[in-house]
Structure 1
Amino acid sequence: MAFLLSPILVLFFLADIFSEVKAQNPNPPTAFSGFPTVGSIVNDWKFLGCSTEIDGRALTGKSYSEDNMTIDSCQEFCTKNNYMLAGLEYGRECYCGRFLQPPAGYIYQKDCNMPCKGNEKQMCGGNSRVSIFNNTQFKGPSALKTLPDSTWTYVSCYMEPLYGRALSNLIKADDRMTVPMCTQACQGAGYAYAGLEYGRECWCGADKSPDLEDASDPQCAMQCDMPCGGDANSICGGRGAISIYKDSAKTSQKMRRHHGNDHGDYHDYGHGPINADIGARKGRFVKVVRRSPDGTRQVEREERVSL
């Protein structure tokens, strides 16, 4: 004979299980407050720690400041601008980025001790200290690698050279720019290469300039990180960085190297194993000192950035 539980006993049994589960998994917080624990997650944002600030900024993406600053408003701003990291400083400053620029690094957590101007229960960095948060669900725009029904294919993201241009001809600039718009324009003009920059510029050339530095390395001073004006899901270069495509149906022609005679001894060692020093300068360049591949020499050059 089967043993049957009364409805009342079943309800007591389920209530006991529910209360135990709730005790083990309390409701998650809806906002960061006080000094968050490193690794804690609120609304998919993970607190990475308190970082030192550096010349040129620990986070080099878009930024803003206001007297109503909160952690939440900064995170929302960085998400809208397609950045996975949000950093807060001096209680009222918000910085975005995709990586922590060396030599910035995490230090004692409670050095980030300035209350946010818009919410005194939250800490928004400190004096030359940045509270860094990571969007664990970030899915930003990416390079459009293939174009359906097209002979154009993605090559890579490159830093614009210090002298000359990666591609020689600016064909058009349009706030509604897309990758197909640019490749079709270059194809119509008879060029084998197309490049997109600043989210709205379309450059073309018979060939790309030689010795370009690949900017796919996240340690590069410049990144292809700007969404296309006409397609928010695709990347159209960046500030001083260009997304280059090639028409496989055309045979490219070699271009002359655009370095003057006074730079004939210049040799670029790429990104090397060590990025020894990056210091901000006035204007559109930063001075970058890199070690040679064998680590015996340092090579200094200037690279374009938006300051």
Structure 2
Amino acid sequence: MSKRILWVISLWKNVFHTAYQKGLITLVLNTDLSVSAPKRDHPSSVQPMKKPAISRVTVTNTKYVGATGDSASTKRPARNPVSSNYIGCFYDSNLNRLLVNAYKDFDGKLTPEACVSFCYRGGYRYAGVQHKSNCYCGSEVPLSNKRSQETECDLPCPGDGSIYCGGSARSSVYYTEITDYSEDDRLLGCYKDSDKNRILSGERLVFNENNTPRLCMNTCLSLNYKFSGVQYGNECYCGNRRPPRDLEVAERDCLTPCPGDKRKKCGGGWRLLVFEVPDVNTEYPRPNERPVLVAQTTQKPTTQRATQRTTQRTTTKAPATQKTTKRNTYRPTTRQPNRETSTKPPTKYTTYKPTLLNNKPDSQSNANCVTSLTIVNGKSVCKGDLIFKENFDESLSKEKWAHEILMPWLPDYEFIVLRKGSANSYVEYGKFHVKPTLQDDEFIRKGKLELYGCTRVPSTLECERQAAAFNILPPVESARITTKYSFSFKYGKVNVRAKLPLGDWIIPEIWLEPKRKVYGPSYTSGRIRIAMARGNRNLQFDGQEIGNSHLESGVLMGIGNNIRGRTITRQKSDGWYRNFHNYTVIWSPDELIFLVDGEQQESILRYGSTLAELVGFDENSAKIWKSGSRIAPFDQEFYLSFGLSVGGMRDFPDNSISSGKVKPWKNSDVKAMANFWESRHDWKSSWEEEKAKLQIEHIRVYAL
């Protein structure tokens, strides 16, 4: 009996300790000893192993209640003003520090509020307090496998003994309320700024060590502004006024490297690189939202010759999303970042010099330079210059390439998880390899996947999912690399020497993607497919072979759910997986020409017609591209993108037949991914170790 009593006492002690640490209960002493639960604005924001809520939380003064239940005569502040930001207790040590970006010794005055405020002002997402006076800051979410018992964070804070500040080799971790939304596709442009008439006049912040467009945009979001801008490398501006178009200048004026990521650009001298802050209430799907799709239609291509031009149309309905009538509000609980009232520029700032081969200045100092139509990272270059070269001699260059880390969602719904690990992408023997691998069946059906370092919006379906019933996790792991942050260009000649993969329902990705979504999101701003052959050895649709012997090159563009393509097709009876081939696109203001091994030159354009007309959009639909050239949306800077995908809702028509068996999923079916996985015994054997990989030997990009 005594053991059971001791066990019950221990259990209630742990429960009481956890509730007290999180601010869920408050002790009040008078003639009697009583416990009361103060009111909380958002109790749901304190949940184990869940990312903090997006909405801002304000902890108000709380009335303390005595034994009789009457309100106390005076209001006192809550014990821990940032208790709603609390995430949990985590293992932490000098050998393996949890938060590594910044540190401050508070010299006997440490409290969670002081540490959270310090980290917030520095632009960091997380703050950790540890015994004595240690405050640590970081921007990477703490790993779940480092979570410890709450009772192990039991040492009083030096600045307020009523609050706990971690423990021995343990940190109490808090969220600073700076979010981590991606700035991708949110760039408005480079603008001329001045001391007398600031483009963004709301706030001026300085991040000397870690400024990036992403940090600046998320900080402005936390301050409830609509626009953000970076300048002089380390400066961040916030405001609510959209920048005037008459002050827009060439993007080459905004190429100062960011101190937080040298691959990214942070404006220039009196040049502000402006981004639109996201509306998080309407733009992003949440993990409990699932797609409802309608049928995909593909127009049957008309046969012309061995090499043929076709126009294809694909329609996919966007997923139904749950809507809420309650709008999130943004009210920072922590002190705001450092503001500087002086608007004078720094005495020194970095001038960007493009890391281009045979780079020539804009001026005519080089008599042999004839200015090309090609623009590279906003800068003019000389005709014929080799502006990008990759031989994959050793490891993948971090200065050139960045991995995408996400679970694809709108609009293609591929059945993959894009990761960074060497199991799916690596350099070997002078070639870059992308290889698909399968996840464990038990995890796919019952697990929860939170992507560490996700390159999309945190806490959305692209970064976090929970398996439930037929809503399984993506069963295939793969990889995609891009030059999004290092190299983009408008017009040029691209040559990619590659071997395409073989394996049922596999798709190689050899793309050019738009740097800025000038015309709109997704396919509204276009995609250039340099080469694509489906991995199925034999795939029939409506009496035609569309498998690995069928190569497609061309463009995709669309509005909303109506996505169309203009495609060059080539046939090779023994398939495109056997050997390396040179896949080339020549992109000019008037042409998009595709070649294979330097032969069979074909253009997707026709004299006197706009690309939108040729693809099949009516005059009303094509209005969105009227502001551009005849090849709009392909008149902006694009970057390189290479990877491997599986399945999805766009590339495989319903009722297509692979080696005598009908495609196992319907593009309109909410169970599409589950049905694909259930049929794995039919297609898994076709994924041979070497043949199922996309291999790239080299890449060259030349100025026109």
* TM-score with structure 1 setting the length: 0.44
Larger RCO: Structure 1 or Structure 2 (Cα < 8 Å, ≥ 6 residues apart)?
1
What is the TM-score normalised by the length of structure 2?
A: 0.22
Q: Which has the larger Rg?
A: 2
